[in-house]
Homo-oligomer: A and B are copies of this chain.
Amino acid sequence: MSGEESVIEAEGAVPTTADEGAAAGGESVGDSPLRREDARALRGETTYTDDFGQEAAALAFVRSPHAHAEVAGIDTEAAEAIDGVVAVYTWGDLAESDAPMRLPVRTGPLDCEVPGHPVLAADRVRYDGQPVAAVVAKDRYVAADGVEAVEVEYDPLPVETDPEAAASEDAPTLFEDAPDNVAAVGELGDREATDRAFAAAEEVVSVELENNRLIPSALEPRAALAEHDRTEGFTVTMTSQSPHGHRRKLSHTLGVPERQIRVISPDVGGGFGHKGHHHPGEAMAAWAARELGESVKWTATRSANYREGAHGRDHRTTAELALDADGRFRGLRVDTHAGIGGYALGGGGAMPGWYGRLLASQYEIPAIYCRSRCVFTTTAPVHSYRGAGRPEAIYVTERLVDVAAEELGADPVELRRRNFLDPDGFPHETAVGATYDSGNYEPTLESAVDAVSGLPRGGERDDDGRLRGVGIASYVESTGGGFESGVVRVHPDGGVTVSAGTHDHGQGHGTIYAQIVADEHPVAPEEIEVVEGDTDKIPTGTGTFGSRSTVVGGNAVAESAQEVFGKAREIAAHELDADPGAVETTDSGFRVADGAGEGSDAGDQRVSFAEVADRAYGRGLPEGLSPGLEATTFYELDNTAYTFGTHAVAVAVDPETGEYEVERYVAVDDCGVRVNPRIVEGQVHGGVAQGLGQARSERATYGADGALAASTMLDYALPRASDLPDIETRAQETPSPDNELGVKGIGEGGTVAAPPALVNAVVDAVPGVDHLDMPVTAERVRTAIED
């Protein structure tokens, strides 16, 4: 299916409904069987990490109330005296052990040498909520009492939570080796060529914007249950999107080989990138379990999850677009300060691979230069969060295009259309080194625009006196990075177990992988078990994030299925005394194709898949075939696959209050071949909800003292169901030519497209405003109208 021409369903893009596949009755790639994951969740049969280890000792952290301070002394005596407190640990205890007990520094190339985040503060704290001491007690209530009783003496230091302000001599220095708090400077593109393009440009427009700091808010907070039940090793049951990734990180932090660590990730209540990251809790629980010789469980409170957990986004950007007289983009220049928080924890900040490289969006821009500075601030560490650099990049470009349209008096749709990449020009390498595999942008734009055509816009007042606006945002999204493992194991009775290094926490991998394996193969999806989430059961894998699972996990599984069923066909041919080429697949086995058999009754020459499986395990194999019927594939794309689309939003603003409603939301996405359109639709819905959350209400705000202002769900303004519009989805399928399935990822598209689309719509509705920072709250809108 790779290499096919773009397939546009019907004329342009057509609406998708969840029922279409189900109505078709089949259950393979392109159909929409119901998600097999849902029944358990609906019946309450899911088991989350905190459901395990009810007898385990409880771990809780003493957390710094200061965003920046020297730790002058810790008195644990009173805590240790509490009945039921098993142990109280400080950095001194950790430092005496063999274990490094620092979370590895992993934020790409750094320009400084900084120590990793200590699991317990060594001598200084660098953000509000940083763990300073650990209390293990017989239960979480006693642990909380123990935490209260630990006395810590702090010498407070000045704070700076804004990344732009922190990158200066005047700001307090977090690490001596990082002058001006700059951890790294990343540059992408050709600076001189870009400067020349600007010098020669007819028009230059610019925008200054903030990509607001967000707090990942999975319904299930992070948790880890650590057992030290092997001679030398650990079993850590935890909330992980990436069991093998966490195994590796724990291996570094604990200083033990990976083979001695088993990470089990059971049901997980949402991830969003956050649960791919390494936090102090799991390492501390494991260390204590070994120290104490008993199981130790840590479950973050919501507040701890918010204060200490890795946050997302936090960019401050100045961007300029150069255009020629015809409105063609000639250059893009971007300067970004990315806050990375108090420690260089992970792939947050400027996300070099995913941020800068996406700045070209869907456009032909011959010269691009992006400089991004990763800046330490006295805040929680920043890491990848659903979208992970892509929303930050597309927000810059799509806002800039609308600003340009406004300043040039051009139609934003027409301006986009004029600058789109030629659909015949793929693969296309952008000026910042991204190579787009395939694309056909205009039909998705037209479909989105068509959905909002005729609606009032540009500040026009409707019958209710509301200011109306329409915004669109086009995007590309790189998906499917890194390798993934996929195993297809056929049991002797013909049942199939599929496993992959990805981890399902809402994505529906069980449904999708079973569809992929069943596709054109003699086994029904319901005969296929799908296993993830246990490093002892699954070959080394990468995990689920970055819209990658269907792309690399799906193709890994598909390749293994091809190998397995190819061998099965050979065995079947031997059983049927036929040429493998003459053997065709039935629902549950193989038969000699009509006309290919010797006799007149060829249609009756059948062998079931169960019989073939039995043969495969050494009971009458054809000569030359080794026994067994399973295959393992490690799959990696040479390049990533670029999903794209256009979202359109129509809003109605109450000029008195600044409150606004989303009247219409249309998402037109092209993620290549859709294995399960219903699941694609669900991913778009979820992504858009999350994107609208960023655009409309969410912001992790630190006070002047460096304390996180909103550290519970009461205060942090996640969107509620009632805040969300109906989300209409439309699909187009332009297969990726670079993988057998022709798929691209769709897990993050909504978080990429929704923020600029929403902001563009509100800005369109409010006369005389050319930019509003996110979150676009009613107050900001009202203020803008008043100004």
Residues of A near any B CB (own CB < 8 A): 40, 45, 231, 248, 251, 257-260, 482-483, 485, 489, 491-493, 495-497, 527, 529, 531, 534, 536-537, 539-540, 542, 617-618, 626-630, 632-636
When the two chains form their complex, are residues A491 and B628 in contact, meaning their CB atoms are under 8 A apart? no
Please report the C-alpha to C-alpha distance between residue A636 and residue B493 in the assembled complex, in whole angstroms. 20
Shortest Cβ distance from A613 into chain B, in angstroms? 10
Please report the C-alpha to C-alpha distance between residue A540 and residue B564 in the assembled complex, in whole angstroms. 14
Question: Within 8 Å CB of A248, what residues of B?
Answer: 492-493
In chain B, what residue has the closest Cβ to A527?
A: B257
Please report the C-alpha to C-alpha distance between residue A629 and residue B45 in the assembled complex, in whole angstroms. 36
When the two chains form their complex, are residues A628 and B539 in contact, meaning their CB atoms are under 8 A apart? yes
Please report the C-alpha to C-alpha distance between residue A617 and residue B527 in the assembled complex, in whole angstroms. 31
Please report the C-alpha to C-alpha distance between residue A96 and residue B231 in the assembled complex, in whole angstroms. 45
From B258, B485, B491, give the contact of A491 (CB < 8 A): B258
Question: Within 8 Å CB of A491, what residues of B?
Answer: 257-259, 540
Please report the C-alpha to C-alpha distance between residue A257 and residue B634 in the assembled complex, in whole angstroms. 28
Please report the C-alpha to C-alpha distance between residue A259 and residue B485 in the assembled complex, in whole angstroms. 20
Question: Within 8 Å CB of A536, what residues of B?
Answer: 531, 534, 537
Please report the C-alpha to C-alpha distance between residue A314 and residue B691 in the assembled complex, in whole angstroms. 76
When the two chains form their complex, are residues A635 and B626 in contact, meaning their CB atoms are under 8 A apart? yes
From B259, B531, B628, give the contact of A495 (CB < 8 A): B259
When the two chains form their complex, are residues B496 and A628 in contact, meaning their CB atoms are under 8 A apart? no
Additional A-B contact list (15), CB under 8 Å, known A259-B529, A483-B628: A251-B493, A258-B491, A258-B493, A258-B495, A259-B491, A259-B495, A260-B529, A482-B618, A483-B627, A492-B540, A534-B536, A542-B618, A618-B636, A626-B634, A628-B632
Q: List 10 A-B contacts (CB under 8 A).
A: A40-B231, A248-B492, A257-B527, A258-B492, A259-B495, A259-B496, A260-B495, A483-B618, A536-B537, A632-B632
In chain B, what residue has the closest Cβ to A245?
A: B492
Please report the C-alpha to C-alpha distance between residue A531 and residue B529 in the assembled complex, in whole angstroms. 23
Please report the C-alpha to C-alpha distance between residue A673 and residue B504 in the assembled complex, in whole angstroms. 47
From B257, B497, B636, give the contact of A627 (CB < 8 A): B636
Please report the C-alpha to C-alpha distance between residue A629 and residue B539 in the assembled complex, in whole angstroms. 9
Q: How many copies does the complex hold?
A: 2
Question: Within 8 Å CB of A497, what residues of B?
Answer: 259
When the two chains form their complex, are residues B492 and A617 in contact, meaning their CB atoms are under 8 A apart? no
Question: Within 8 Å CB of A258, what residues of B?
Answer: 491-493, 495
Question: Within 8 Å CB of A635, what residues of B?
Answer: 626-627
Please report the C-alpha to C-alpha distance between residue A571 and residue B489 in the assembled complex, in whole angstroms. 28
In chain B, what residue has the closest Cβ to A36?
A: B231
From B531, B540, B617, B618, give the contact of A630 (CB < 8 A): B540
Please report the C-alpha to C-alpha distance between residue A618 and residue B422 in the assembled complex, in whole angstroms. 32
When the two chains form their complex, are residues A257 and B45 in contact, meaning their CB atoms are under 8 A apart? no
Shortest Cβ distance from A639 into chain B, in angstroms? 13
Question: Within 8 Å CB of A627, what residues of B?
Answer: 483, 634-636
From B489, B527, B626, give the contact of A539 (CB < 8 A): B489
Please report the C-alpha to C-alpha distance between residue A260 and residue B626 in the assembled complex, in whole angstroms. 26
In chain B, what residue has the closest Cβ to A538?
A: B537
10 smallest A-B Cβ distances: which pairs?
Answer: A628-B634, A483-B627, A259-B495, A483-B618, A258-B491, A257-B495, A627-B634, A259-B529, A258-B493, A627-B636
Please report the C-alpha to C-alpha distance between residue A441 and residue B25 in the assembled complex, in whole angstroms. 68
When the two chains form their complex, are residues A539 and B630 in contact, meaning their CB atoms are under 8 A apart? yes
In chain B, what residue has the closest Cβ to A621?
A: B636
Please report the C-alpha to C-alpha distance between residue A633 and residue B260 in the assembled complex, in whole angstroms. 23
Question: Within 8 Å CB of A634, what residues of B?
Answer: 626-628
In chain B, what residue has the closest Cβ to A497?
A: B259
When the two chains form their complex, are residues A257 and B636 in contact, meaning their CB atoms are under 8 A apart? no
Shortest Cβ distance from A537 into chain B, in angstroms? 5
In chain B, what residue has the closest Cβ to A614?
A: B248
Question: Within 8 Å CB of A542, what residues of B?
Answer: 618
Question: Within 8 Å CB of A618, what residues of B?
Answer: 482-483, 542, 636
Question: Within 8 Å CB of A489, what residues of B?
Answer: 539-540
In chain B, what residue has the closest Cβ to A623?
A: B638
Question: Within 8 Å CB of A45, what residues of B?
Answer: 231
When the two chains form their complex, are residues A493 and B537 in contact, meaning their CB atoms are under 8 A apart? no
Shortest Cβ distance from A276 into chain B, in angstroms? 16
In chain B, what residue has the closest Cβ to A494?
A: B257
Shortest Cβ distance from A259 into chain B, in angstroms? 4
When the two chains form their complex, are residues A537 and B540 in contact, meaning their CB atoms are under 8 A apart? no
Shortest Cβ distance from A124 into chain B, in angstroms? 30
In chain B, what residue has the closest Cβ to A630?
A: B539
Shortest Cβ distance from A571 into chain B, in angstroms? 13
Please report the C-alpha to C-alpha distance between residue A203 and residue B737 in the assembled complex, in whole angstroms. 81
Please report the C-alpha to C-alpha distance between residue A630 and residue B258 in the assembled complex, in whole angstroms. 15
In chain B, what residue has the closest Cβ to A484?
A: B627
Please report the C-alpha to C-alpha distance between residue A630 and residue B633 in the assembled complex, in whole angstroms. 10
Question: Within 8 Å CB of A492, what residues of B?
Answer: 248, 258, 540
Shortest Cβ distance from A747 into chain B, in angstroms? 20
Shortest Cβ distance from A106 into chain B, in angstroms? 12
Please report the C-alpha to C-alpha distance between residue A505 and residue B483 in the assembled complex, in whole angstroms. 37
Please report the C-alpha to C-alpha distance between residue A40 and residue B496 in the assembled complex, in whole angstroms. 36
When the two chains form their complex, are residues B636 and A540 in contact, meaning their CB atoms are under 8 A apart? no
Question: Within 8 Å CB of A259, what residues of B?
Answer: 491, 495-497, 529
In chain B, what residue has the closest Cβ to A229?
A: B47
From B257, B493, B527, B540, give the contact of A628 (CB < 8 A): B540
Please report the C-alpha to C-alpha distance between residue A30 and residue B630 in the assembled complex, in whole angstroms. 32
Name which of A40, A537, A617, A628 has the most chain B CB atoms within 10 A of its CB: A628
Please report the C-alpha to C-alpha distance between residue A40 and residue B230 in the assembled complex, in whole angstroms. 10
In chain B, what residue has the closest Cβ to A542?
A: B618
When the two chains form their complex, are residues A257 and B493 in contact, meaning their CB atoms are under 8 A apart? yes
In chain B, what residue has the closest Cβ to A634?
A: B628
Please report the C-alpha to C-alpha distance between residue A537 and residue B539 in the assembled complex, in whole angstroms. 10
Please report the C-alpha to C-alpha distance between residue A531 and residue B262 in the assembled complex, in whole angstroms. 13
Shortest Cβ distance from A656 into chain B, in angstroms? 54
Question: Within 8 Å CB of A493, what residues of B?
Answer: 248, 251, 257-258
Please report the C-alpha to C-alpha distance between residue A743 and residue B127 in the assembled complex, in whole angstroms. 62
Question: Within 8 Å CB of A632, what residues of B?
Answer: 628, 630, 632
Please report the C-alpha to C-alpha distance between residue A223 and residue B526 in the assembled complex, in whole angstroms. 33
Please report the C-alpha to C-alpha distance between residue A260 and residue B493 in the assembled complex, in whole angstroms. 11
Please report the C-alpha to C-alpha distance between residue A635 and residue B625 in the assembled complex, in whole angstroms. 10
Please report the C-alpha to C-alpha distance between residue A534 and residue B534 in the assembled complex, in whole angstroms. 13
